[in-house]
Amino acid sequence: MSFQVFGIAVSRGVAIGRAVLVASSRVDVAHYFVSPDEIQSEIARLLRARDAVVHELATLKDELPGDAPHELAALLDVHLMLLHDEALTGSASQWIVDRHYNAEWALSAQLEVLARQFDEMEDDYLRERKADLEQVVERVLGALAQEAGKAPPPVRPRDFGGEDPLLLVAADIAPADMIQFKRSVFRGFITDIGGKTSHTAIVARSMDIPAVVGTREASRLIMQDDWVIIDGDAGTVIVNPSPIVLEEYRFRQRQSELERARLARLRHTPAVTLDGVQVDLHANIEMPVDAESAVAAGATGVGLFRSEFLFMNRDGELPSEEEQFIAYKAAVESMKGMPVTIRTVDVGADKPLDRLTVNELRHEHVLNPAMGLRAIRWSLAEPSMFRQQLRAIYRASAYGKVRLLIPMVAHLSEVRQILETIRKVQQQLTDAGHAFTRVELGVMIEIPAAAVMLPLLLRHVDFVSIGTNDLIQYTLAIDRADEAVAHLYDPWHPAVLQLISQSIAQANAAGKGVSVCGEMAGDPDFTELLLAMGLRSFSMHPSQIPAVKQRVLRADAQRLASALPRLLESEDPRATAEKELSAARSGAAIVH
């Protein structure tokens, strides 16, 4: 019987194949008490299992093939740091000492404590790192079971025979498993959990493999060896399709493969509209190594370097100025003279940088983390840390074009404090004999107040970057993590479009640079709309650049702009956009 499962589309395209179900490897956890004489040996058993997993992951990382997505190495590093974090095994050992729990029980008890803390986090990326924590614990539990002789043998791709293409179906997929399931084995991924920033989504996009996550029930509804279609564009999974549906999707798959090949040829083609408007397509990156992927995708710069990834999972220690400088310098040099926009650390709520261990990510006393001490508010509250980061960024400017981006600005007083801190930092660098060049200053427009008062902000900064994800959330008072209201998160809402359009127009009128770095920038469905608003700089995940570039090459910016007033006045902007922008769209064929 044919049926459909719905989830979140995180990597576009169509994949067709037989389902390979990989059940969670979590073993049944035994619950028993150990005697006082057994406490130290039980702790030793826990640490042996932890060390065995550390060795396994370190070996996997060292043996990564040259063509493996660099995101895999970064995610393995996250798992290794979690394993070394005292908040996990150290606190689990304390359960053994205090409560006399056996190792498995103690580890599971500590997982529950930490999982609740992750659930309360406001930031999407941080909240979804709960899955990494669960997978680390799962592997340690597996090592404990293996020592006891109770663990099943691990599943490997070679266990699956036949010539049919294979699709992986699982509750979730750990980065280490991604390596075991070589790139050539599986044509697509389906998981029960996860979101757009989950590691499965990140790796699927980097590998350009269709994926649907957050299906909730897929691993329970789909049977081993079922024929399955992954529609990565719609976020739909079709199980045991009829011959007619199967043939239709096979045709779409062939068209998609041809389209990808065409898009790949656009890599070195300048992004210029039919009426001659130059458009910058920049990349969002998290780590210095990501800059290589940006260049390979044809990016003309880095529009957002999320520096907070340098601060995470460090057992409570801040990265030194020198360590930050080396990371920023590496990214700048990799871009070969193209601009790199570095955002100052953007971590939220009550997480001071000296409390970034898993053990300290607490929210008990914060009523609304999204509106608490986060981003620039936090940096200004930690002036020594802020100056250290600014010094590292300015030092990197001696090696290429660097721009400085400040998140979550809402007050002119914040801008004045930032400017004063920059002056102090420049003087410190001059006194120390460090070279640096002029660094353009920009602020993120992600709070409605900043959008409304933008003309005042523009007097003090060189450029602005619109963070559409948070701007939508704050404008509509919608917590994207709350499933009860997540359906109200709507980038097509008239108020959202008005704020974005006004911000772009005001920045252009003031002669200041303006870009969009949120999800809307990388979604081809919004490319023409943003061009119509006057946007000329987009920043997105490197894998999204080709599809957006194609839309730019086929667009007529002037004709699109003429349709904008009717769209902004509409009660149903999405429907009006489809009608008006389609009418304004040029039908001229592009040959590359």
Report DSSP letters for 117-184, one per residue.
HHHT--SHHHHHTHHHHHHHHHHHHHHHHHHTT-PPPPP-GGG--SSS-EEEEES---HHHHHHS-TT
Same domain, 551 and 410: yes
pLDDT of residue 238: 96
Number of domains observed in the structure of the chain: 3
Same domain, 353 and 462: yes
* 591 lies in some domain: no
In sequence order, the 6+-apart residues with CB closer than 8 A to the CB of 42 are 34, 96, 102, 103
The Cα–Cα gap between 96 and 246 comes to 55
Same domain, 119 and 214: no
Q: Considering 147, 177, 197, which residue would you say is the last residue of a domain?
A: 147
Q: Considering 212, 243, 262, which residue would you say is the last residue of a domain?
A: 262
pLDDT at residue 129 greater than cutoff 50: yes
The model's pLDDT over 378-405, given as tens digits with 9 standing for 90+, comes to 899 999 999 999 999 999 999 999 999 9
Same domain, 45 and 122: yes
DSSP readout, 496-552?
Answer: HHHHHHHHHHHHHHTT-EEEE-SGGGG-HHHHHHHHHTT--EEEE-GGGHHHHHHHH
How are strands ordered across the β-sheet holding 14-22?
Answer: 3-6, 236-239, 227-231, 14-22, 166-170, 186-191, 211-213, 8-11
* 531 lies in some domain: yes
pLDDT of residue 209: 84
pLDDT at residue 96 greater than cutoff 80: yes
pLDDT at residue 439 greater than cutoff 80: yes
DSSP assigned state of 435: -
Q: Considering 211, 239, 262, which residue would you say is the last residue of a domain?
A: 262
Helix (H) or strand (E) holding 405: strand 402-406
Contact 64, 72 (CB under 8 A): yes
pLDDT of residue 240: 95
The model's pLDDT over 548-570, given as tens digits with 9 standing for 90+, comes to 999 999 999 999 999 999 999 99
* 590 lies in some domain: no
Domain that holds residue 43: 36-147
pLDDT of residue 118: 76
The model's pLDDT over 69-95, given as tens digits with 9 standing for 90+, comes to 666 777 788 888 889 888 888 889 998
Positive or negative torsion for Cα 307, 312, 316, 321: negative
The model's pLDDT over 274-289, given as tens digits with 9 standing for 90+, comes to 999 999 999 999 888 8
What's the whole-number average pLDDT of the chain?
85
Positive or negative torsion for Cα 172, 174, 175, 181: negative
pLDDT of residue 581: 80
pLDDT of residue 66: 67
* 153 lies in some domain: no
Give the CATH number for residue 245. 3.50.30.10
DSSP bridge partners of 168: 20, 189
* 31 lies in some domain: no
The model's pLDDT over 177-235, given as tens digits with 9 standing for 90+, comes to 665 554 457 889 999 887 776 667 777 776 778 999 989 889 889 988 899 999 998 99
* 269 lies in some domain: yes
In the predicted model, what is the mean pLDDT of residues 334-351?
A: 83
Backbone angles phi, psi at 480, to 5 degrees: -60, -25
DSSP bridge partners of 236: 6, 231
* 93 lies in some domain: yes
pTM summary value? 0.69
Burial profile 1-40: b = 16 or more Cβ within 10 angstroms, e = fewer? eeeebbbbbbbbbbbbbebbbbeebbbebeeeebeeeebe
Lookup: tokens for 7: 């989830």
pLDDT at residue 515 greater than cutoff 90: yes
Give the CATH number for residue 531. 3.20.20.60
Same domain, 183 and 105: no
pLDDT at residue 447 greater than cutoff 90: yes
CA 442 to chain centre: 22
Positions marked catalytic: 199, 517
pLDDT of residue 313: 59
